[in-house]
Each structure stands twice: as structure tokens, then as C-alpha cells.
Structure 1
Amino acid sequence: MSDTTLNDLADLGAAADVATPAAPAAPLREKEVDAQGRAYATGRRKDAVARVWIKPGSGKVVINGRDQSVYFARPTLRLVIDQPFQIADRAGQYDVIATVKGGGLSGQAGAVKHGIAQALTKFEPVLRGVVKAAGFLTRDSRVVERKKYGRAKARRSFQFSKR
């Protein structure tokens, strides 16, 4: 054991500073971009699958070749799409190009949100902690339960008839 003794907390802090090497705080992941400088990710929600590309720009969002205000007419769906940018304080800094298939509008909006969050963390790995803490990187695995035979729907029975 060492022959130096620590008398108070100041000595402990000084000893700890000497023992740790000075290393720059680097992100654990690397930036993943393609040749055009875009980050790609796939987002999923219910039966919808979204392929999302983001690149630095003016905040323009194009979904299936149409503007977001045309494709998602409901303002709540547009708010869902913008959530990852709002959490990361990057509103209006990235252009989004997405293609969505399957499901309904609500599921598609959730899929685009999931894809944007994934692509944002690939473009800026530093933001991963913020986006993950908000729960946007987790795929919402809830899907519609299938219909069973001998049942009217997934769980509902046929109406009982005594006679």
C-alpha cells in the first residue's frame, strides 16, 4: 500500500486528478453518412415502415414526394414528426426525405418519427443520449392482435343464443 496518507477531501481530489489521464470526450459511435452527406435510417410503427434520409438544410420535410403539410394534413401528425428535432434543439436545421409504406396515417407518422430519430443519431452521435432519454429510439412494438377462429374478432365472442 502507498505510504502517503490523505488527511482531508482536498487531498483526495488532488490525488484523483493525478491518477486519471486527460482523454478527450469522444462519442462512442461514429458519424454515418453516405456519399451525398445524408444519414439514412429505417423507422417502424404498427404496420408502417419509413425509409428516412436527413441532410443539413432549411427544415424542409418531403414524404413520398409531397410536402409534409400535404401528406399529413392533421397538425398533430406534423407535431409528432417534429418531436425529435424539438428535443435535440435542431428545428429547421435538417431537410428530411422519407418514403413510407403500410399502415395508416398515425402509424406512418410514428414510423417517420422513429426514422428521423435514428438518422439524427447517426448524423450527430452526440445527440444519442438526449434522443434516447426521450424514448424516440425505441421501436413501439404494439401491433393489432390477429383474429382467432371461433371468435368474432381477436377476443370478442359471437353473441350467445340460449335457443
Structure 2
Amino acid sequence: MKNFLCLFVLAGLICGCSEQDDNAAAPQQAAVPAVEIDENTVFTFDINTLKPGCDNGSDIICAINNSIKCTINPQFEDCEANKELMPRFVFMEDESLQRPTSQSYKITKLKPRADGAVEVFTQSTCNGNWFGLCNGNIIFVMENKDGRWVVKDLYALEN
């Protein structure tokens, strides 16, 4: 009986002292990429001068810019390939939407969320109505999807 008790205690000690990875079960959150906030930098888009691709050096800015390009013109060449990387309502076709033909914004704040998403606060202007989501304080909700930042949602704050 003594030998059995000793084996049981020894097995307990070995299990208790073995290396365990406590972080293995924790969900991995993507690091929030560095985005330089310069309130003097204004991103401007017009239906007649939209250019494909993005060379801004920030995944978050590129995702926002692509979302705006597709808001202005859902048939723009970059939109079909990136359709799943932005909210579906961006591609709604309805005359009453009053899509803007030009839009500009500047980033005022980034706010990481507990769920790993990032809220990008902007001051935006446009020449349309489009759900009220292109004039005033617009927040782009970004999430990391397969290592890439995408626009999950956007909403407006009242002034």
C-alpha cells in the first residue's frame, strides 16, 4: 500500500511540475497595426479619378480607401475581388441611395476593442446621402480576417 501511495504522489508531482502552455487555449488577437494619425492628412476620392490598388503603407487605410472606392462606384475594378472584405450594403443597388460621387476623410482616432477589432474614427465629407454614412463623424469597424484588416462595419455618430 505504501508503494502505491508513493507512486500516486510521484505521478501527481510529475503532472503538476510538467511544462504546460497556458496560452494554447487563449484566442490569438492580431496586433493592431501602427497607423500614423495626422489630422492634416485628408484622403480624397472622386468617381472620375479612382485608381486601382493602394500604396498607403497601412492595411487599415487601404481597407478604408477600398471601401470608399466601392461606395462611390461598386463596379470599380478593385471591388469584385474584395467584395467579401467589406459590408454587403456597400454593394446595394438602388437609385434612392444617393451614392456619393466624391468623398474625403481624415482619421482622428484609433480605438482597439476587447474582441480584437479596431474602431477607426474619421471626419468625413461627401456629396451624397448614402445611409448618412459619408458625412460627419464616421467610424469604420475593422477586424483581422486571415491576417488582413478588413472593414467589418461602419456607423455614424451624431454631432
Tell whether the structures are fold-level matches, with TM greater than 0.5: no
Answer 1 or 2: which has greater helix percent. Answer: 1
Answer 1 or 2: which has greater strand percent. Answer: 2
- Could you state the TM-score of these two structures normalised by the residue count of structure 1? 0.25
- Could you state the TM-score of these two structures normalised by the residue count of structure 2? 0.26
Q: Which has the higher contact order (CA 8 A, sep 6+)?
A: 1
